[in-house]
Amino acid sequence: MRARKIRTFFAVPVLMLAGATVVGPLGTLCQAQTTVKRPQPGFNLFTVDQDVEIGRQSAIEAEKQIPLLNDAATNRYLNQIVQRLAAQAPGARYPYTIKAVNAAEINAFSLPGGPMYVNRGLITAARNEAELAGVLAHEMSHVALRHGTNQASKAYLAQSGLGLLGGLLGKGGGNASQIVNAVGGLGLNAAFLKFSRDDEYQADALGADIMSKAGYDPNAMANFFALLRQEQGRDPSKLERFFSDHPPAADRESRIRSLASRLGPVSTQEVGGFATIRSRLGGSTLATSQTQTQWPQQNTATGEVALPPGAQVRVSVVPPSARFTRFAQPTGFFTIDYPDNWRAYPSGFAVSIAPGGGVVGLPNGQQSMLYGVIVNHYAPFEGEYSRQYNSLRHHYAPFEDRSSSAVRGTLEDATDDLVRQVLSTNSYLSAADGSARAQQIDGAPAYSVLLSGLSPVTGEQERVIVFTRGLPDGHVIYALCIVPANDYASVSRTFTRMMQSLRVNDEAAHRTTQNTPGTGIKPPN
């Protein structure tokens, strides 16, 4: 098995924690001097408790591969900083801990659920406690925003097909160990350590906010980026890979300085003792460079089901009944009517509704929906930057101005984002540019996009209609209507009736104003 190098936050001379899910727009500034609208965690198959357990087990495996410094004074000092930062971190109260790694590179990384690691090279490169705290606040933000398990969730989705979007998790119930093993196992797993540009921007913004509230000037984080730029000027090769994988340091530096200016002055409250610890590490014996630390290769499954010759499934279902019954999501988020000879499979916010024979088990243990409807809540997988960039390159919602200076529509970008995820994880499907149609679901703007392709499960043409309806927080509720092409004409009226019956309680789901009920679904061509 080919070895991979650790991707970490800062890397001189090698890599940073790579620059996920999921995931929602970069935190924007409110007018209040010290208040920031914090980014929210995105798509995730794991619970918070599972994050903690995955992190605990991954830390055990990771520490078999990295040279820990095992210096009690250093680790005590680092944990004092971490606990001060953790008191200001949003979300779950993760058991944040940190250990020093005996390696010369300027690296730091975090694992889901709280374990954090920082190289001695980064500690000695920092010029003060605030710069060190800036790095740690950034890493803590990846944990708080659940970026690691968000990435693992998306990697698992890429292997599991459409059924996963409706909560059909297959044998074993889709437990954490099943998902983790499918994407590469515990330890220094690529799925936990590879983050998107938007993830990095989010961690910068949230990290700066945490710093400010904990008594550190956020400009110190920007100062560390300035240090990286200076290092690049002295020896570009040391940071070549870093700058190929991440937003430019100057860009991140300017964003953080802008944020710091709006957060206002900070009353500095340091732990104290940085100079002593820095001097202490300057004389220690260095371990073998961390660039030689190896870790298991990430699972490279394509997501397509490899069935033995002749094992393709033949879909055989009874026609949908003209009598409908109602499914009510348990939290009151939505209701939808469906044929009374179909069955509903609820899972959290999701429900999969299918006739007998519409859901089949596959050799890989997953369940695949071949005929039916999936309804679920969806936080965009891609962050703001990635959604805009990818929508400009290849979009399916053609209703907005695509010039780079235009204000972009949230629902349009979210629709593009969802369609891209469906296509990337079900590569047999395709959609033409501009194939979306304007719709209305429960009185709110919506879109539909028709996808088609030769199913690897049935060996026949399949149609998937993607419906998206916006929610007040920028997320969407979506429906996937899946049917063999031969049955598309006869079942399209059933799909239309189901979509017309969909009622969304925005107040119950997101504590915002409820939309006025209404209809207006038009079947796609």
DSSP H/E element including 483: strand 476-484
pLDDT of residue 416: 80
CB atoms within 10 A of CB 179: 25
DSSP letters, 107-162, are -EEE-TTSEEEEEHHHHHH-SSHHHHHHHHHHHHHHHHTTHHHHHHHHHHHHHH-G
Distance CA 116, CA 11 (A): 16
Pinpoint the alpha helices (H) of 310-442: 384-393, 410-425
pLDDT in tens, 309-332: 345 677 788 899 999 999 998 888
Distance CA 459, CA 462 (A): 9
Position with higher pLDDT, 322 vs 356: 322
pLDDT in tens, 248-307: 556 778 888 888 888 877 777 889 999 999 988 875 555 444 433 332 222 223 223 333
| Tokens standing for residue 323 | 């009598």
- 396 pLDDT band (50/70/90 cuts)? low
pLDDT of residue 395: 64
pLDDT at 450 over 50: yes
Distance CA 80, CA 107 (A): 19
Pairing of strands 334-339, 503-504: antiparallel
Percent of the chain with pLDDT over 70: 64
pLDDT of residue 421: 79
- 353 pLDDT band (50/70/90 cuts)? very high
Mean pLDDT of 88-103: 93
Instruction: List C-alpha distances in Å: 50 to 154, 179, 238, 379.
Output: 16, 11, 37, 20
Q: How does the average pLDDT of the chain come out, rounded?
A: 74
pLDDT at 514 over 60: no
pLDDT at 44 over 50: yes
**Which residue type, as a one-letter code, is found at position 85?**
L
pLDDT at 247 over 60: no
Pairing of strands 115-119, 97-101: parallel
pLDDT in tens, 475-495: 788 999 999 999 999 999 999
Are 491 and 499 within 8 A, CB to CB?
Answer: no
List Cβ neighbours of 371 (8 Å cut-off, separation of 6 or more): 315, 317, 354, 355, 357, 358, 482, 483, 484, 487
Nearest 10 degrees: Cα torsion 421, 427, 431, 434: 40
Residue range(s) in the chain whose domain bears CATH number 3.40.1000.10: 324-510
Distance CA 403, CA 393 (A): 11
pLDDT of residue 14: 23
pLDDT at 451 over 80: yes
- 350 pLDDT band (50/70/90 cuts)? confident
- 240 pLDDT band (50/70/90 cuts)? very low
pLDDT of residue 236: 52
- Asked if omega into 13 is within 30° of 0 (cis), the reply is yes
Mean pLDDT of 465-474: 86
pLDDT at 114 over 60: yes
Mean pLDDT of 392-400: 60
pLDDT in tens, 139-157: 999 999 998 888 877 777 7
Indicate the range of 114-123, 145-154, 162-171, 465-474 predicted with least confidence.
162-171
pLDDT of residue 288: 43
Tell the CATH superfamily of the 324-510 domain: Mog1/PsbP, alpha/beta/alpha sandwich (3.40.1000.10)
Are 229 and 149 within 8 A, CB to CB?
Answer: no
**Which residue type, as a one-letter code, is found at position 18?**
A
Mean pLDDT of 10-14: 29
pLDDT at 184 over 80: no
Please state whether 45 falls in left (phi above 0), alpha (psi between -120 and 50) or beta: alpha
Position with higher pLDDT, 424 vs 508: 424
Query: Whose CA is closest to 42, among 150, 188, 202, 127?
Result: 150
3-class DSSP state of 181: helix
- The beta-carbon contacts of 420-423 under 8 Å, at least 24 apart in sequence, are 420/382, 420/390, 420/394, 421/154, 421/157, 421/381, 422/162, 422/165, 422/451, 422/464, 422/466, 422/480, 423/451
Mean pLDDT of 498-524: 59
Distance of CA 412 to the CA centre of its chain: 19
Distance CA 53, CA 26 (A): 28
